[in-house]
Every structure is written in C-alpha cells, then in structure tokens.
Amino acid sequence: MKISKNWLKDYIEINEDDDKLVDHLNATGTEVDEMISSVVFDDKVVVAEILKIDRHPNADRLQIATVTDGSDEFIVVCGAPNIAVGQKVPFAKIGAKLPDFEIKKAEIRGVESFGMLCAADELGLGTDHSGIIILEKECELGQPYSHYIKGDTVFDLEITTNRGDCLNHIGMAREIAVFEELPEIQLPTISLSETSEEAKDLITVTVEDSMACPQYTARVVKNIKIGPSPEWLRERLVACGVRSINNVVDITNYIMLDLGQPLHAFDLKKVAKGKIEVRFARTDETILTLDGALCKLTPEVLVIADIEKPIAIAGIMGGAESEIDEKTVDIVIEAAEFDRKVVRRGKKIINISSEASYRFERGIDSEKVEYALNKAAKMMSDLCSGEIAKGIVSAGNQITRSTIKIEYDKIATILGLDISAPEMDSILTRLGFSIDKGVATIPSWRHDILLWQDLIEEVGRIHGYDKIKPLPLVKIDKPEVTVFAAKEYLKDLLVECGFSEVKNYSFMSEKDTALSGLDCSELLEVANPLQPENKYMRPTLLPLMLKNVAQNSTFDPILIFEIGQVFTSDSEKTNLTIIASGKNAKSEIDTAVKTLTEKVPALRLDIESLETDRLNKYKIRKPAVYFIDLDLSAVCEKIKVPADISISSRTEKNITYRPVSKYPSVTRDLAFIVDKDLPSEDLVNEIYGISPEINRVELFDEFASDKFGENKKNVAYHIYLQYMDRTMSDADADAIVKSIIEMVEEKHHGQLRK
C-alpha cells in the first residue's frame, strides 16, 4: 500500500523527518517496505508550449512538434499520442540530466530532434508512460518544471491482514497522529449544493439480506462531463501506483485511497428503471465484468442488480454493461458496506479479486460510508460539473460498535510494564476507543479487536515495546536425548566414514516416477502444483539420490546419504538412504555398515546393488552403485546417543564458501613430492590463492616413503576449475594448472609426479 506524504498533510501536520517517521512506523507495527522520495529535476527541464505538430515523413507513429520556451523555438520528434497544439508540456532541453539518461541532440529516422517532451516515467515520477505530461495553462513558459512539482515522499507499507483500516490515507494519518502525539483528526465537513430534483424519484434501493449488506447508500449526479482529471488528482493517484483513467473513475479511486471506502459508479441510464436491488445471484446468472470476462455466478455470490439482471458483483467488480463511458451523462454513485465473509466467499467462487474486495474482506469503516458518498458527490460536482440530486437513497444501517471490558492488571502483567489504568485509557482514547468505567467501545474502523488480549498490543506498541525489560527463563535441565539427536548422531557417523549429506526436494515429477518405475496410484499427489516437478510426494529417497549420482559424474567415488521424510497415500516415515558409487564403492559402503552397526547395534543394514539397466536409465556411467535403504521411524528411539557426543561438536569448522558455477567445471589431479613437514592444508590454501577460478582443492592422498627421498612425502589433490559465466576450457585449465605447479616448485621446491 503506497501512502503519499503530501496527501497525509490534508489531515495532519508532520514535523518529523522522513527517516524518523519510518522508524516510528516500524516501531508501532506498520512495516515500511520502501521509501521513495520524489526526484529533483534538472533546471533544463522547462515549461514549453506546443506551437505546431507535423507528421514525421518516415515513421507513422512519430510526430514532429515545434515548441517554444517563450524565447526560442525547438523542433522535437515525439512518439506520444496525446499531444496537441496549445498544450503546455515539460520539455527537456539538450544537456538536461534525467534520472536514467542525459538529453542529447539526436537524429530520429532522418529528422533532427532538439530535446524531449517528457512522460511521467522519464522524469522518475512513477511508471506511467502512457503519454506526455500535460501541464496547467497557468504554468509560465521557460520556467523550470520543478517549480510546478511539489516534492513528495511515498511510503510503501506492508499492511497486515488485521489492519484494513490502514489501507488508506485517513487511516494512516490517524495512526501517525497517535504515535506522534498530534491533535485528533477532524474530518472537514462537506457542504453540498443539491438540485431540487429528488434522488429517490430517480432510483430506488432494496436489500434482500441485511446480514450480507448491512448498509447501502447511493446518490445521483446528473449532467456530468467526463474528461481528464486535474493534474493534482492525477499526481496523487500516480504517487499511489494507480493509473489515471477519467475524472469519474479517478474520483472513485481517490475516495478509496483517501477514506478506505470502495465506491462504484453506474451509468444511470443503464440501470433498468433505476431500480437497484442487492441480492444473491440466481442459479445460472452471468455477468460481463469490467475486465471483459463473462463470469458465471452462483447463489452464494452477492450482486447488485436492476430489475433485469446483475449489474455488478457486490464489493468485487462492476459490470461492463452499466459501465461509465464517454457518453455517460447521469451517474449513480454507490457507497455500501458488504459483509466481509460474503465478499471473501464470492471472490473465491468467481476467482476475481480487486482493490475493492481486498478492502471489504478486511472490513471498512461502518460509520464513514455516507461521508465517503458525500465527498465523492462533491468532487463529481467540482471536477465533472455534475449536478447533485437531492438526498441519499439508502437501505440498512451502520453496524453498532461492540465493547470490551479492559483487563488493566492482566495487560500490565503480560507486558511486564508499570503502566497505570489512566495511561492505558489515554492510549486507547487516542486510538479512537471511547472508554467508560473500564469498558472500551471499539472504533468503527477496527475489526481486529475482539478480546481484551487484543488490547495488549495496542497499549504495548503505542507505549513503546522498547520499554519492556527482558526476563530470564527459569533455568531447567537439558532435555533427554531426542529423536533429533539420534538422527544427527547417525549423520556424524556417516560423515566420519567419508559420506556427504544431501537434501533433495520432497517432490517427484511425472518423469521422475516413470524413470524409477513407481506406481503413481499409490503416491501422495499434490492437488495444485504450480510446477510439474511438484506433482507427487517421494515414497523413498533413492530415486532422487540416483539423480544426484548421475549429476555429479566428475566425482569418484560418490558417497552420499540423506535422512528425510517419505510418503505414501496413508503414511509418512523417516528414511535413511546411503549410496556409494565408483571407485572402491563396495569397500566404502562396507566400512560404513561396519561403523554404524558397531556404534548402533539396533540398526539392521542390508547392502543392495543397482542393476546395469537401471544405471543406464539414470545415465549413471559408474560401474557399481551400492545402496542401503532404511526406515528409521521405529529405530530412532532405540538409538543410544553417547553422552560425550554433542550435536554441535562438528559444527565449529571454519568454512569459506566458494560459489559454484552453473557451467561445467574441469577436474585435474595433481600429485607432488614435498617436504614431509609441509602441512598439506597450508598447500591447499596456497593453491586456492593462485586463481579465483579454483573452486575446490581436495586432498585425496598423502603418505611419506623413503622412495621419495629423505623426509619427503607424496600429496595428491583433486582440483576443480570453473568460470562463473562460461564453461571452463582445457586450455585455460592448463594455464592455471601450470601456475600451480610453478608455485609449488618455486616456493616449496616440490616436484610434480608425472
């Protein structure tokens, strides 16, 4: 939700600077995602008037405008469709620096252009690129455009689902007034000049179900002139990320962003007999919505209908057939309150959501419906020269406010704050509650306050959570050994045997299940996967781990394990799967079995091997793959984790992470004869220092022997070379390897073993 600081100033005087205000918003529960301060323009962007428009000789979509800044004339090539002779526009002269580029003399399709007429986005005023900004007639030629722009700051706020009342400027102004301790906001009174014609003679309103629509109000405005909105209105909408359409639509959007009341405007002539009925849709009724889709309705969907058919989906979207268009003369403005659950249900059934439904679902201010209607009517009269018919046509009533007994002591205790009842009353009163003898009447705009516990937050966040003192928990013993610890113990044992832990997704695609020959009817199936990879839940860990083996073909051996949840349609279990593949696979997995069963006698481990045709299916090019597949569910509780094993013991290793390229890497093995007392780890670090393209250096062999000479040893490393942005070539790899060899020879008098 975007909130404009200039707009807030209609209601409150803000003295804090923007950064402080952001801190205070965050501290009181309104998260600020982003703060956008308006840009300062170069003075070379000036007001100019369009004198003449010619067609571009070589391009249909381009025009050649002649403009003046009051003293000189300029020829400008322009692609925007909305310019006309006599308009005043912001004109960026050659040399003007705009947010994204600098204006230079240019030749566009054979015509020289001396500057640019600017659209909003080019000036950094939002994202609107629909046309050149058209300025008010009063703007003075040649003056910097910045003189006509009010500096603004826009706050992009994350409003949580409970605070529908903050989805508008009056709501945020109220919130800020409370924590900045500003005077209470008074809504300006609206005085309307009405014609003598009675609205009730033009329309009637009936509501079928007052639970679904507690109140419905409408006014008729006649003889309106549809046209563009004035600059100030367009600026405010654009600041909030809303596109300007025409004055009538803009006013309804403006009121929603201003007061939080979604409005709808109907073309009076398209409401059959002027009879408005709020009712549930009939079976098989349909409506063509504003976005052009034919929408099937059901009897759970509340609609606004005339005597013939639905003309809007209540609180969600208008219908195309009663839409305002350029021929519209008389309109009906609707301001209503629809039940939150009814709107939510309707939205789900027809699968349409809108800014209006978003607000109705969260609840609107029941007591400001009429005010919003009147303000809209006033704007329609001021900005569209409309004539307001006399009176409001309405049905239903405002919802009565509910009350809560304030549990002063309990609130103070849970907060751990020394805060008195009068202080709490004062905070709640500023928030709009009215307090009488310890009972709070809830403001009409707050639908999230139901229990006394809900008041804890109100008191706490305004009083200041930073005043709460931390309270230590009573010390108690560590828990007894848990299943979690047992699993981590198994992981440690496997890591000691040289195995690495992998974590695969819990999902399998259709392709994965086919590859591993699984019967899909026994699998747990996802009903709404966004991606085909997420269709089934894995019934065992093995298939995805075999893909890991195939994917890591440059490694030999591959020793991996995973502990994770596996699923069938009626069970969820914890499995352990271990795989050994490649060089010495059998002896590696034998060692693991020996270690595991020695330390954990409860384990029953069977080594299985994969047949060649399955290896081929997975494109595994290693001669042998052995695996162990084990259901841990029953075993974990029997595992005795030794007391001297701490589950954090293996985590203190100092790791410098090196990013992994998505492009293939090259592996080289290098063996050197070096001094026996040269630590092999030091050499690893020095090799890393040779080139940033070295992704990994892995020691795989180290032994001393007299055959290498006195006090000499053999060290051997796997070295992985990669580029982050392309495939590593053999030639480049050779060059890096050469540098490594030179370093070892020169610095450590080492000798490469061929």
- Asked if residues 442 and 427 have their Cβ atoms less than 8 Å apart, the reply is no
Query: From the CB of 226, what's the least distance to other proteins, in Å?
Result: 34
Stretch that binds other proteins, among 60-68, 143-151, 435-443, 522-530 (CB under 8 A): 522-530
Query: From the CB of 158, what's the least distance to other proteins, in Å?
Result: 9
The binding track of 361-400 with respect to other proteins, each residue x by CB under 8 A or -, is xx--------------------------------------
The residue within the footprint of other proteins, chosen from 501, 637, 675, 745 (CB under 8 A), is 501
The binding track of 102-141 with respect to other proteins, each residue x by CB under 8 A or -, is ----------------------------------------
**Residue 479 makes contact with other proteins by CB under 8 A:** yes
The residue within the footprint of other proteins, chosen from 460, 539, 543, 750 (CB under 8 A), is 460
The residue within the footprint of other proteins, chosen from 327, 648, 710, 746 (CB under 8 A), is 648
Nearer to other proteins, 621 or 650 (CB): 650
In Å, how far are 100, 220, 223, 341 from 195, measured between CA atoms? 51, 10, 12, 38
Instruction: Detail the DSSP E strand segments found in 239-322.
Output: 263-267, 275-280, 286-288, 294-296, 302-305, 310-313, 317-318
Query: From the CB of 680, what's the least distance to other proteins, in Å?
Result: 9
The binding track of 283-322 with respect to other proteins, each residue x by CB under 8 A or -, is ----------------------------------------
- Asked if residues 632 and 574 have their Cβ atoms less than 8 Å apart, the reply is yes
Q: Identify residues 529-548 at the interface with other proteins (CB under 8 A).
A: 529-531, 534, 537, 548
**Residue 496 makes contact with other proteins by CB under 8 A:** yes
Which element (helix H / strand E) includes 596? helix 585-599
Beta strand pairing status for 625-631 and 608-609?
A: antiparallel
- Asked if residues 276 and 312 have their Cβ atoms less than 8 Å apart, the reply is no
The residue within the footprint of other proteins, chosen from 81, 151, 230, 416 (CB under 8 A), is 416
Helix crossing, 408-415 with 421-430: angle to 10°?
90
The residue within the footprint of other proteins, chosen from 66, 162, 204, 429 (CB under 8 A), is 162
Q: What's the length of the chain?
A: 754
Nearer to other proteins, 292 or 470 (CB): 470
Q: Identify residues 20-59 at the interface with other proteins (CB under 8 A).
A: 26-29, 31
Instruction: Detail the DSSP E strand segments found in 382-460.
Output: 387-390, 393-396, 403-405, 434-436, 439-441
Query: From the CB of 280, what's the least distance to other proteins, in Å?
Result: 17
- 439-441: strand order across its sheet: 403-405, 439-441, 434-436
The residue within the footprint of other proteins, chosen from 368, 446, 491, 599 (CB under 8 A), is 491
* Alpha-carbon span 477 to 473, nearest angstrom: 12
* Alpha-carbon span 546 to 608, nearest angstrom: 14
Is 422 exposed, middle or buried (CB count within 10 Å of its CB: 0-12, 13-18, 19+)? exposed
In Å, how far are 176, 544, 634 from 562, measured between CA atoms? 52, 10, 17
Q: Which two tokens stand for residue 399?
A: 């919802």
Query: From the CB of 694, what's the least distance to other proteins, in Å?
Result: 11
Q: Which two tokens stand for residue 281?
A: 């849709």
**Residue 457 makes contact with other proteins by CB under 8 A:** yes
Residue type, 466: D
**Residue 344 makes contact with other proteins by CB under 8 A:** yes
Nearer to other proteins, 451 or 731 (CB): 451
The residue within the footprint of other proteins, chosen from 102, 484, 663, 735 (CB under 8 A), is 484
Nearer to other proteins, 682 or 745 (CB): 682
Q: Which of 388, 392, 382, 317 is nearest to 356 (CA)?
A: 317
Q: Identify residues 172-231 at the interface with other proteins (CB under 8 A).
A: none
DSSP string, 299-338: TTSEEEE-SSSEEEETTTEEBGGG---TT---EEEEEEE-
Residue 538's φ and ψ, nearest 5 degrees, are: -65, 135
Q: Identify residues 608-647 at the interface with other proteins (CB under 8 A).
A: 646-647
Question: Could you identify the residue written with the tokens 């839409």?
Answer: 323
Q: Which two tokens stand for residue 43?
A: 């003075």
Query: From the CB of 373, what's the least distance to other proteins, in Å?
Result: 25
Query: From the CB of 666, what's the least distance to other proteins, in Å?
Result: 12
The residue within the footprint of other proteins, chosen from 133, 371, 722, 737 (CB under 8 A), is 722
Query: From the CB of 160, what's the least distance to other proteins, in Å?
Result: 4
Q: Which two tokens stand for residue 566?
A: 């596996």
Task: DSSP letter for 545, please.
Answer: H
The binding track of 659-698 with respect to other proteins, each residue x by CB under 8 A or -, is xx----x-----------------------------xx-x
Query: From the CB of 589, what's the least distance to other proteins, in Å?
Result: 13
Q: Identify residues 242-281 at the interface with other proteins (CB under 8 A).
A: none
Helix crossing, 169-179 with 18-27: angle to 10°?
90
Query: From the CB of 269, what's the least distance to other proteins, in Å?
Result: 36
Q: How many residues bind other proteins (CB under 8 A)?
A: 103
Query: From the CB of 632, what's the least distance to other proteins, in Å?
Result: 11
Nearer to other proteins, 414 or 735 (CB): 414
**Residue 2 makes contact with other proteins by CB under 8 A:** no
Residue 671 three-state SS: strand
Which element (helix H / strand E) includes 169? helix 169-179
| Residues paired with residue 318 on neighbouring β-strands, in sequence order | 312
